[in-house]
Structure 1
Amino acid sequence: MKNKYSFLLSFLFLATSIGMAQGSSEYTGGMKVKLNEDGSKYFRIISWAQFWAQHSDNESLNSFGNEESDLNFSIRRARVLMYAQISKKFLILTHFGLNSQNAGNLSPTGQSSQSQLFFHDVWGEWSLDTNHAIGGGLHYWNGISRANNQSTLNMLTLDNNRQSWSTIGLSDQFARHMGVYMKGKFGKLQYRVSVNEALNNGLDVNGIPAADDATYNGRAILGGADAGKNFAGYFDYHFLDQESNFLPYKVGSYIGGKKVFNVGAGFFYHPNGSVSLNNAGGFQGEDVAIFSVDAFYDAPMGENGSAITAYAQFQSNDYGTNFTLGQTYETGSMFYTHIGYLLPGQSDKMIKIQPYVSYNNRSIDAIDDNASRLGIGGNLYFSGHHSKLSLEYSNQKYGNLDAVGTVTVQAMIYL
């Protein structure tokens, strides 16, 4: 155990030297190609990668019954995103990549379905006027909460709160629905609403309904006429600096670059999304309804270069009677919060340090108990979010099961 933690610390220092070599304060819009003189016609490419070294107390066995390594390497994300405008009237965006590539899902020739290279987003958007637009395709204009619209480029914590991405694989493809959306703002109030298709083959598609336990596979069992569509929306009021809603991805931390205070509320509603058995042994649909309220604050503190980032969310989760799946999704309620502090005296320095703490507590109807997760970590910035290292220790407890501690080091580059 001690040797494994020593290795992680050694990796941190090694990656620090790599990050310092590549850090730059000259990032001014990235890979953007102008197609006319004034730049109103253009396309932009964004690329990022996150590499993880992770140690967990959780013991696992391979298919031969032998113990697996408790120190593992993985590519958490490797993505390419491109969007283009040749007119202010419309925009097209494509986003592809892979997630959580590791020794368990690598294949000899990289052609297995487990290689996970797929489109995350593909949508087109048409402007109605300066403040409002409509669009359609495989999109990320989600409802529910800020965290359910989180960008993976600039998170405060090592990763997003898992339960805040509330429908991944249940009704959507990796937090993206196929549908139509409308987004815009009225003064300081921003909105996004959407009507979407539900996934046919979700994570719970093989679940067996019971009288007292619902499964989230309504479309597969009841058909698209009864359970094919879902509806979502998120509304947030911007009291201080106004955030951009040009793209759907919400910023996790501005590292003191803006003064933002937003309060939001959102929903996700899927009629007959889940299924249980009635008294006669037949199928009956149950509506999936998720509601959330949240608040986000990010601001510099004084003239010493320090800054604070804080987020809090309460969410009510109704996936159907006693629904639970993989210790991740459950009918019940959730409170989540995180807070980070950018250390002072760094305003004129390239390297910045930002410790943080996060906490999640969930009530779970199916086990009549709670689950919790505590995360303690920090970010070491070499060029803002474009080049950073993150280190986090998390302790996760589910019901009466033993707590699981995990240490993760992340190295990230984003251009």
Structure 2
Amino acid sequence: MNLKLTLFIGALLVALAGFSQGSMEYTDGMKVKLNDAGTKYFRIISWAQFWTQYSDLETVNAAGNEESQFDFSIRRARVLMYAQVTDKFLILTHFGLNSQNAQNMSPTGLGANSQLFFHDVWGQWSLTKDHAVGGGLHYWNGISRLNNQSTLNMLTLDNNRQSWASIGLSDQFARHMGVYFKGKFNRFQYRLSINESIENSLDVTLDNAPGVDQAVYRGREFLGGKESGKNFAGYFDYHFLDQESNFLPYKVGSYLGGKKVFNVGAGFFYHPNGSIALDNSGGIRAEDVSVFAVDAFYDAPIGDQGAAITAYATFQSNDYGTNYALGSTYTTGSMFYSHIGYLLPSENANLKFQPYASFNTRSIDAIDDNASRLGIGGNLYLSGHHSKISLEYSRDQVGDLDAINTFTLQAMIYL
């Protein structure tokens, strides 16, 4: 057997043994009341996700040496705190790191690769019982449920990457600097935002200038803030069964039978003059960036033995500009994504298993071809989402290129 694959299987066995402690006694976690009534309080949430990954992708680093196909990494390590000062005011801060591995660690923790940063810092003022306005570095996004996904309770190993449709292009890791409005009218919920767009987007790794009939997402850099500085986003969903909370922006991935939910939603992201391209005469042509999506989410218990089903589907239309492509992640074209999971019946409240499958197919205008991703995996819950082991096999393919097969093992703790 391949040595790296053997090591991966060994890591799986160690994780199953070492993370077998779990308790369903977790309630509000680290919540501190500041008055007797509990109307003033602060709550701290902390979580970490450790990955062991094996891939058949063969890569070579800058020194000409073959990179390892078997790696360890910290996928996420986060701390979130929010405080309800009064029933009118709330402040939230959220900091941490993402995808730290041997390639991007710093010798002293202070170098250019240091990843610890604020994900969210925002304040909120309640206008009425059901409506509020807030501002700062926030996560009240548009487009779809998955663009507002919580990373604490996903069904799949990780979020569908293309659903976080603006990461690093107009925002800082899915967060924009701006103002938002959120609320609900009975079963109808909404979130709207007006935001600044960053000036140093991910596609600076592309050519330094736009190409003829191929846009780059750097309108603000070339055109200036006045013409391309602001973007607009919104998401709207109707709750047919149990209503979900919109106290915080983070959408739940799977309720594990704790609710009976059926929602349909639609959303958008619009950035006027967000990208640019060269016209045939060599002049810069500004192009609008627009992303739209519709989706549906269903999560419900089945029977009385603890079984449950979780299902989700979305169609997303992406227009980043003419023939825009940043790898195969951000591309002008369309996408369909769906996942489904089944929580098996169990008499043990602390030990549950949930197999799942996901599928993504998307068109890429720049190469006039399609890309796809298949994921098959399962979650072993040791204390609900607070302690779980996840294992997933994925197969990624772009056009006629060789598919990339990856096995990922995740151990997660959430307090």
The alpha carbon displacement at 1:384 in A equals 0.4
Structure 1 residues 75-86: aligned runs within 5 Å: 75-86=74-85
**Matched residue, 2:105:** 106
**Matched residue, 2:233:** 232
**Matched residue, 2:396:** 396
Give per-residue Cα distances to partners, 1:303-322, cap 9 Å, x unaligned: 12110000000000000000
Aligned counterparts of 1:293 and 1:231: Cα–Cα separation in 2: 17
**Matched residue, 1:175:** 174
Aligned counterparts of 1:14 and 1:198: Cα–Cα separation in 2: 44
Give per-residue Cα distances to partners, 1:388-408, cap 9 Å, x unaligned: 000000000011211000000
Structure 1 residues 141-152: aligned runs within 5 Å: 141-152=140-151
The alpha carbon displacement at 1:69 in A equals 1.0
What percentage of aligned pairs have identical amino acids?
72
What secondary structure is seen at the aligned counterpart in 2 of 1:204? helix
**Matched residue, 2:126:** 127
Aligned counterparts of 1:17 and 1:7: Cα–Cα separation in 2: 15
Gapped regions of structure 2 (runs ≥ 5): none
If the length of structure 2 is used for normalisation, what is the TM-score? 0.98
Give per-residue Cα distances to partners, 1:113-135, cap 9 Å, x unaligned: 31211000000000001000000
One-letter identity of the residue aligned with 1:326: G
Aligned counterparts of 2:281 and 2:327: Cα–Cα separation in 1: 29
**Matched residue, 2:287:** 286
Structure 1 residues 16-415: aligned runs within 5 Å: 16-21=16-21, 23-205=22-204, 207=207, 208-344=209-345, 346-415=346-415
Aligned counterparts of 1:257 and 1:7: Cα–Cα separation in 2: 37
Aligned counterparts of 1:277 and 1:108: Cα–Cα separation in 2: 42
Aligned residues: 413
Aligned counterparts of 2:101 and 2:269: Cα–Cα separation in 1: 32
Does the CA contact (< 8 Å) of 2:42 and 2:83 recur in 1? yes
The alpha carbon displacement at 1:348 in A equals 4.0
What secondary structure is seen at the aligned counterpart in 1 of 2:13? helix
If the length of structure 1 is used for normalisation, what is the TM-score? 0.98
Aligned counterparts of 2:95 and 2:349: Cα–Cα separation in 1: 34
User: After alignment, is 198-207 or 246-255 more displaced?
Assistant: 198-207
Aligned counterparts of 2:358 and 2:4: Cα–Cα separation in 1: 24
Does the CA contact (< 8 Å) of 2:24 and 2:349 recur in 1? no
One-letter identity of the residue aligned with 1:352: K
One-letter identity of the residue aligned with 1:390: S
One-letter identity of the residue aligned with 1:268: F
Give per-residue Cα distances to partners, 1:29-75, cap 9 Å, x unaligned: 10000000111100000000000000011111122101111100000
The alpha carbon displacement at 1:282 in A equals 1.1
What secondary structure is seen at the aligned counterpart in 2 of 1:37? coil
Aligned counterparts of 1:117 and 1:151: Cα–Cα separation in 2: 19
Give per-residue Cα distances to partners, 1:167-221, cap 9 Å, x unaligned: 0000000000000000000010000000000111111235421221000000000
One-letter identity of the residue aligned with 1:39: G
One-letter identity of the residue aligned with 2:242: D
One-letter identity of the residue aligned with 2:264: V
Does the CA contact (< 8 Å) of 2:342 and 2:355 recur in 1? yes
Does the CA contact (< 8 Å) of 2:49 and 2:75 recur in 1? yes
Aligned counterparts of 2:186 and 2:146: Cα–Cα separation in 1: 23
What secondary structure is seen at the aligned counterpart in 1 of 2:264? strand
